[in-house]
A and B are shown apart, each in its own frame.
Chain A
């Protein structure tokens, strides 16, 4: 703690050094812009800055990545957010007619937050997160990433750790950028199985009149059964507590069965989640009205393991979302991209903090030098730190977007010919 005190991320000069020397402005630019030279995707894009003392500056826009960097270094915000592409430059907002200033494009974004999982996790609560509850996020990514690719055909998905207790998904496919609010609402409706938030009830409204699960959910159910066993029953041991066990039984629509299960739990002295679950399964299988109960058992698996989305974030084009590589003001951790292929290996507690990164810089450049060369470009300083693999990930992602743009230009060119 003593060594880190020098680089407390709440100190303005620490953040300023991070922005000057480490923040990957150029990769962020290419990711948003899909091209080397600035397009409307960048120049008409809203940026919002949060300054110390909760000052919030909206409707900033920039011509180039360098402009953005200059402004960030001048304002030295605690964090900043990325908004939609408007029909005019956001900074010119006051000089155009209101009807000429409308959000027109925006990455499709999703937000998963551990607080929505509070009723079903035992290791932490509220803002805390550990390697164990990251397993819920892992399970969510494992469901959403392939589903979005397969069902909607989107290819350019960027997962970003939110710096504390959640994960964001940014989808940059052309069609996704163009989605209207109504279409965003539709995709959220399609993706939502468990209603989170204060109105959450345990009924899942996913069954069609045929009473069977729709195909996409049938397919994920098999994987989620595994998650249910390893995560809910074993690791979290959720139903060990009497409240959680009682909550589990609320999903069973047959009061007779519920009473039987309760008795069996006492008689067989079931204390662990796994023992309780096995007993429940046995009782259900021995009963007659199996169709309804079978459905209820499937719904239980979905309820405890299916991704819980914060729907409001996704529904509106003009929602602002924290930019990747910002520093979380509470934890000091950088909001780094996450490789969905290796999401199991990701450890939120191992994500670099600003303090750690600045110390790494010190070990390669003497601190005295960095003071004097404050205004020089440090394009690749991040390469010398543990930020590198994360910036590389963003760069690879941005390259695939630029490649797509290049191919589109070529197709258009040949058609004009």
Chain B
């Protein structure tokens, strides 16, 4: 008998708590596969965020640290500077990374910390029940934007890859999605590369994943995937925004 697919060694067998159709679980799996393929599982130390992924510290088989909302890049900095041989990642949502943790992500990039950031952009505050995020789309309804995001009042969505691309220390920035098998494969490649970069000592690498949140988008899974394609992607185009890994 040949085993065609199984749980990556770098993941635990703990059942995930995410809602059906959520993007978080897909991304976890891709990370686990990347750790296995790069054979770095023993060296990984992860930082779980405050957000729906707060329990990510249970799903990866590596040692994990879970800290304060938005501070992942600072915590990862402390770990990496203390254990330079560790492969350190910070896993963050959009509220975590692009709002409360804006200073931490920008300056981790400025210092070109040799860490990997996985940024889950679902344009909403998932865990707290669907409030407006800095990435919420214009017109998108949120519990704190009941009439939809109005740029006159709440400004426009923030594009993190494009913004961080201005920073010399940011070495690899790619935006991917997990809405189709093709996109999932591309996301896997990007995630793997972001960790490979760290192994090679390239410096700050981040993969932004456009991720579906059916629950707080008040959509079924199919509608959520449609929202990703028709609404999210025009605002957040997929692609590589920086790749200086080879230099």
Are A and B associated in one complex? no
